[in-house]
Amino acid sequence: MKILSRNFGISMNAMITSLLIFFSGWLAGGLVNWLADWLPVESRLGGLICSSCRKEISWLDYWTLFPCKHCGRTRGLRTWLLHFGLGIAFLGVHWTGSPRLSEVEAMLWLTYSSLIVVIDFEHRLILEKTSIAGGILAFVIGVRLHGIGMTLAGGTAGAALLFLLFLGGEVFRRWMEKRRGEPISEVAMGFGDVILSGIIGLILGWPGILAGLFLAILAGGIVSGLIMFSMIIRKNYQAFTAIPYGPYLIFATLYLLFLS
């Protein structure tokens, strides 16, 4: 009887902890939603707003994912994905642990990663403000994992290697322009990707960044290959299509930090 009640006590505790962890993921999801609604559009922060009509939503509606009272729209896929996604991801970290990061580090990094992916998908942008915050976070975690030397080496290598790729893309773009005789406005890779590569270099360290870049470029190549293939089938093939590298860099880093 005593053992039973003790077991029950432990599992009650575990359940409450799990609920709290899920709730903090839920809050982090709301935070990312809020930042993604404001930062790329106005580069300042305001109140809690509806992502579609940008009118203010009450605090309660915002956190309970109620439809917007002004435009009547449901709160959008991104909102739901972030709230539940981060809630579940936080729980996953808590239950299975992450091989390299502490629980708090993992949660902060997951939150930062979601923000970068959402803004890059929606606006094709990697913002200065998020890069500064990410850089500080990656540096602090990197120094604990690899020491200061290897952290800085990783960051430098990450930025330098992607910068070379960026230059390569520019040379290719100019060559294509000459061949076609018309300007190509799409840029293969933004400078934000170079900065982001430096940031993931800090957290992955040297030589971890090499694996990170390899994975990101491989995944980017495979996905854009598939997209090109579907374009060829649908006969609207364009030889020059930009790959947004940001999400690939982020996913490669998450894979290396959490799953490998």
**Overall residue count recorded for the chain in this entry:** 260
Report residue 246 as tokens. 């940001």
Nearer to Zn ion, 50 or 157 (CB): 50
How many angstroms separate the CA atoms of 13 and 5, rounded?
A: 12
Number of residues that bind Zn ion (CB under 5 A): 6
Q: How far apart are CA 84 and CA 26, in angstroms?
A: 6
Identify which of residues 71 and 227 has a Cβ nearer to Zn ion in the complex: 71
Q: Per rule CB under 5 A, is residue 68 in the interface with Zn ion?
A: yes
Query: Among 50, 138, 141, 215, which residue interacts with Zn ion (rule: CB under 5 A)?
Result: 50
CB of 38 to Zn ion, least distance (A): 15
Stretch that binds Zn ion, among 6-14, 46-54, 85-93, 238-246 (CB under 5 A): 46-54
Interacting residue with Zn ion among 20, 45, 53, 148 (CB under 5 A): 53
Distance CA 102, CA 203 (A): 13
- Choosing from 41, 71, 132, 232, the residue that interacts with Zn ion (CB under 5 A) is 71
For Zn ion, which stretch binds (CB under 5 A), given 63-71, 119-127, 148-156, 185-193? 63-71
Q: Which residues bind Zn ion (CB under 5 A)?
A: 50, 52-53, 68, 70-71
